[in-house]
């Protein structure tokens, strides 16, 4: 087992999500025209929680969807591993909606770029705002998050491990050294 530095525990993660939901509601003056879309897989779980929090906060049902951006990646050719592609499910029109795009970690920005490309294939939203649990820096594209749970300065030799109860039996964010590639 590798050594990990805990960044957020379950309670802290809950507070961060609550804060983000408040920020979203504040900035958009409510949640009337909002839809929340999570990027598979952990972003999708976080999106469902944010939508739930927003619904409770504003007293209306905020629609939530999920997207797998694999087909829109720009590095498919060079990655011989082909993971099972998860569901993309946007059970609503996104035309003229304000989309809160949710992911767990913002890193190079390439995933978000792919997600934006995929979104526009589904319609023409009024605006897209980006919410992430962690921003670890090292951007390779001009992309910035509108809502950030926590900024964590990292080195490239580290990785951010986000765990959510839905898939990992606990809520936490931690930092650890990357596994050495096997020789």
**Residues binding other proteins (CB under 8 A):** 68, 70-73, 76-80, 82, 84-89, 117-118, 121-123
154 to each of 24, 135, 139, 162, how far by Cα in Å? 26, 9, 12, 14
Q: What b/e sequence results for 156-176 when a residue is b if at least 16 CB atoms lie within 10 Å of its CB, and e otherwise?
A: eeebbbbbbeeeeeebbbbbe
Specify the residue, 5 or 167, whose C-beta has the smaller distance to other proteins.
167
Helix, coil or strand: residue 162: strand
Specify the residue, 12 or 41, whose C-beta has the smaller distance to other proteins.
41
Axis crossing angle, helix 10-27 with helix 42-58, rounded to the nearest 10: 60
Instruction: Please enumerate in sequence order all residues whose Cβ is within 8 A of that of 81, keeping only pairs 6 or more positions apart, or say none.
Output: none
- Which residues does residue 172 pair with via DSSP β-bridges, in sequence order? 163
Instruction: Please enumerate in sequence order all residues whose Cβ is within 8 A of that of 43, keeping only pairs 6 or more positions apart, or say none.
Output: 66, 102, 103, 104
Specify the residue, 104 or 118, whose C-beta has the smaller distance to other proteins.
118
Q: How far is the CB of 83 from other proteins (least distance, A)?
A: 9
Q: How far is the CB of 73 from other proteins (least distance, A)?
A: 8
Short-list 114, 106, 98, CA closest to 147: 106
Q: How far is the CB of 116 from other proteins (least distance, A)?
A: 12
Specify the residue, 52 or 89, whose C-beta has the smaller distance to other proteins.
89
10 to each of 94, 152, 166, 171, 173, how far by Cα in Å? 32, 17, 13, 5, 9
Q: How far is the CB of 10 from other proteins (least distance, A)?
A: 28
Q: How far is the CB of 115 from other proteins (least distance, A)?
A: 13
Specify the residue, 7 or 115, whose C-beta has the smaller distance to other proteins.
115
Specify the residue, 28 or 70, whose C-beta has the smaller distance to other proteins.
70
Q: How far is the CB of 35 from other proteins (least distance, A)?
A: 16
């Amino acid at each position: 087992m590798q050594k990990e530095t805990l960044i957020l525990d379950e309670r802290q993660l809950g507070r961060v999500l609550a804060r983000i939901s408040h920020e979203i509601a504040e900035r958009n003056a409510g949640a009337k025209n909002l839809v929340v879309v999570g990027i598979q897989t952990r972003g999708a779980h976080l999106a469902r929680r944010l939508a739930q929090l927003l619904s409770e906060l504003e007293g209306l049902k905020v629609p939530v969807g999920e997207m797998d951006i694999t087909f829109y990646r720009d590095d498919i050719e060079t990655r011989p591993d082909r993971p099972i592609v998860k569901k993309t499910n946007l059970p609503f029109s996104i035309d003229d909606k304000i989309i809160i795009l949710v992911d767990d970690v913002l890193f190079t920005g390439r995933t978000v770029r792919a997600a934006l490309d995929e979104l526009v294939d589904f319609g023409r939203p009024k605006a897209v705002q980006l919410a992430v649990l962690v921003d670890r820096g090292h951007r390779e594209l001009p992309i910035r998050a509108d809502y950030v749970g926590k900024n964590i300065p990292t080195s490239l030799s580290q990785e951010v491990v986000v765990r959510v109860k839905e898939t990992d039996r606990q809520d936490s964010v931690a930092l650890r050294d990357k596994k050495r590639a096997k020789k």
